[in-house]
Each structure stands twice: as C-alpha cells, then as structure tokens.
Amino acid sequence: MTSAITPFAHQAPLAVGAQSRRQTRAVPVTWNDKQVVIGGGAPVVVQSMTNTDTAHAIETAIQVKELALAGSEMVRITVNSPEAAREVPAIREQLDRMGMNVPLVGDFHFNGHKLLTDYPECAQALSKYRINPGNMGGGKRRDDNFARMIEVACRYEKPVRIGVNWGSLDHDLMARMMDDNNRQSQPWEAQAVMRDALVISAISNARRAEELGLSPNAIVLSCKVSHVQDLITVYRDLSQRCDYPLHLGLTEAGMGSKGIVASTAALSVLLQQGIGDTIRISLTPEPGGDRTREVIVAQEILQTMGLRAFAPMVVACPGCGRTSSTVFQELADDIQRFLREQMPIWRQQYPGVESMNVAVMGCVVNGPGESRHADIGISLPGTGEVPSAPVYLDGERVVTLKGDTIAKEFQGIVLDYVQRRYGNKQAQQ
C-alpha cells in the first residue's frame, strides 16, 4: 500500500535570487568622465589586478587595457618602489590616449606612506588607494605611516580600501586579544580569535581614518583570508558591525579549477546573503595563461547567480554515449569565444545583448527543448541521428542546417539575430 504524499503546510516557497542587499554607504571611484560606485545599492563591481612590473609602463598599460576590455571595472596595479610610483602617471596617460577611462587603484604596503608623499603625481593619477595597516610597522611608527597615507587621500579626495589580511594582521592587536582571551573562563579557539581580530582591525582602522578627516563615503573594507569557511564567517561578522561597503575575495585562491571552485563557493554564499559590493577573483594564472581569466570568472559568478549580466551565456550539454561527435563541443566553445570577443563593441551598439541566452545541444534528448527555451539555440545530431541541426529563434524552429558548414552558418545566424533584435532596441531608445 502506498501513502499519499502531502506537502508540508508550513513550508513557504523557496525564494529566487539573492536576499536583499546589505545597505552600505556609496563610495564613488572616478577618472575623467567615468564613475564607478561601490556600495549604496549599486551593482556589484568587478575588479582585477595586473601582474606586470609597474615600472614597465607600456607593458602595464597594455595589460590594464586587456583587463578593462574583458570587463574589469577597476584595475589595481602594484606600487611598491620609487620606479613604479614614477611610472604611474605615464600609465594613466597611455590609457587615456587609448580611450580607456578605467579607474586605476594603487596597491600599497610597507612603503606606501613614503611613495604617496614623495610622488604627488602618482597620488593624483590614481583613482583609489589600497592600503594594508598590518604592513606599516608597529606602535607609533605604524600610526604615523597610516596617518600620512590618509592625509594624502584627503588632500586629493581619493577613496581608500583598508584591506586587512590574514597573513599580515597587526601583531600588537593579535597579542592583546590572545592574552585577553586566555584570561576568560571559557576562552575561544585561537582561530576564532584571529577571525575576530581581522574584523576589529578593519573597523578600528576605518574609524581612525575618519578621525583623520577621511569621509566615511570614501572607505571600503576587506578582510581577506585563504579558506572558504573562514572568509564566510569573517564577512558575516563584518557586515553586521559596520555599514562600509565590502570588497570580497579569497586571497591566494589558487590555480585553475581549485581557485575557481574555492572562490565561487565562498563568494556565492556571501553574495546570496546580500553581502559584498565589489569582488576580485585572485587566480594564479597557468604558465603563460591569460590574466583576463579572473575577470571572466568574477562575471560568471555574478551572472549565473542572476545578480548582473555581462555577456551572452551559452548553455551546452556535457556530452554522453549518445554524442560520439565533438562537433557540438567545438561549436559551443567557438560561439562562447565569439560572443565574448564581440562584447566590447556590442556593449555600445546593442544594449541588452548581455542578457541573451544561447543553447548548443548535442542530441535529440534535451536538445530541442533547451533550444526552444533559449533566445537562440541549435540542436546538433547525436550518434546515429539524422545529420541535421534545427535552429530555434525565440522558441520557433526557423531553419535546419546540414553539411560541413553548420558552425559557420550558425555563427552568421547569431550575428544576424543580435543585429535585428538588439539593434532595434537601440533605435527605439
């Protein structure tokens, strides 16, 4: 005898999409006529960082341009030496000549106070500073160095990210908190004390920056660690204890799939809870690998979660025993690459195209259905199936492709569809 399945009356339907965004202050980051807003309800901002020697101005400017064209809305560069500081204005000028208004963020550590004061042209050319209080020495020397950097930020009206890192936490603060914890009747585990120290360090340094004259609307915080669960715990706590916008990212996330999976696991949990105003995916590139990969991963995290749209997404089946041919895999890869390559132009010419969905399927099991649900889709023949590939536009079958030129013909159909559908939107605006 089988019993009827009765739904639980007290269960509410699952919510779709992320929870309400955490309310934060808005921090504008500008250069020329370009303004990127972090927090204040603005879309989550994608950042990246160069790995060139900043003292090599042309090489650095070229990589900044590549990252910006890939969709990085701010690009951070290392400023670690007098040689690097001297070249920052030249990098900015080169980018301006190329029409790249992407804001530059200067990454400062041990000697940032000296570089910013000794090279005022560098301080002016940057749109934002990233400083790490844990790398500024100890005691009064640390306080003085921090104050000098904040004073420069105030002078040139530059926002600052105060970035606290697991590996460079304030030793004096950590020692005090460990001592206090050991005196408790029920002390925390050392790991929990370290997480709390990160949060306290970030907030206390932000408050100190305000005391020194920096606007609270010019402060972004980050507490970056290397492990997923620690990052989630730290940012949940930080988000409950301040209203500064937060920069998310695992530090030293790793290489390849490990770095992508770890970053996605950590950031998706926080973003789903409405935490996070700007993100960076700190991937270690493969030898000779493309630095823009970290930008694409950041965009795909936000887009697959439904938080933003950056480029048309391709749905493709994984393949199975029904699909001995690799044609659909090659076509899916070619189309995805084609779409991304077109986006720097399409973004201007065809507003809304970034939300387009494309399906490239490998057999008749799910192929026609998935293709009908996409804006444009193709269902390629699997093993033993009739060698024809129906194409669907807006749910309607419009043509069937055959022969050796399916890939080229389908790409032409995609281009024509974009021009007709999204070109009309531009004309209407």
Taking alpha carbons only, the member of 270, 289, 261, 152 closest to residue 222 is 270
CA trace torsion 174, 115, 93, 215 (10° rounding): 50
- In this predicted structure, what is the pLDDT of residue 6? 46
- In this predicted structure, what is the pLDDT of residue 429? 56
Q: What is the mean pLDDT of each run of 10 residues along the chain (429 residues)?
A: 46 51 96 96 97 97 96 98 98 97 96 97 98 89 95 98 89 90 94 94 97 98 94 97 97 85 96 97 87 96 95 89 80 89 91 95 89 93 86 96 90 95 72
- In this predicted structure, what is the pLDDT of residue 52? 96
Contact 44, 276 (CB under 8 A): yes
The span from the CA of 321 to the CA of 162, in Å, is 53
Which residues have CB under 8 Å from 356's CB, separation 6+?
312, 313, 375, 376, 418, 422
The span from the CA of 330 to the CA of 33, in Å, is 41
The span from the CA of 208 to the CA of 195, in Å, is 20
The span from the CA of 272 to the CA of 21, in Å, is 9
Distance of CA 12 to the CA centre of its chain: 32
The span from the CA of 161 to the CA of 321, in Å, is 51
- In this predicted structure, what is the pLDDT of residue 167? 80
The span from the CA of 102 to the CA of 32, in Å, is 9
DSSP summary character for residue 164: E
DSSP state letters, 187-201: PPPHHHHHHHHHHHH
Contact 285, 293 (CB under 8 A): yes
The span from the CA of 387 to the CA of 380, in Å, is 8
Strand duo 160-165 + 219-224: pairing: parallel
Taking alpha carbons only, the member of 53, 77, 193 closest to residue 127 is 77
- In this predicted structure, what is the pLDDT of residue 2? 47
How much is the pTM? 0.90
The span from the CA of 406 to the CA of 250, in Å, is 42
The span from the CA of 4 to the CA of 13, in Å, is 21
Nearest 5 degrees, angle CA 396-CA 414-CA 318?
80
- In this predicted structure, what is the pLDDT of residue 425? 65
The span from the CA of 359 to the CA of 67, in Å, is 27
Contact 331, 360 (CB under 8 A): yes
Contact 287, 34 (CB under 8 A): no
* Residue 36: its H or E element: strand 34-39
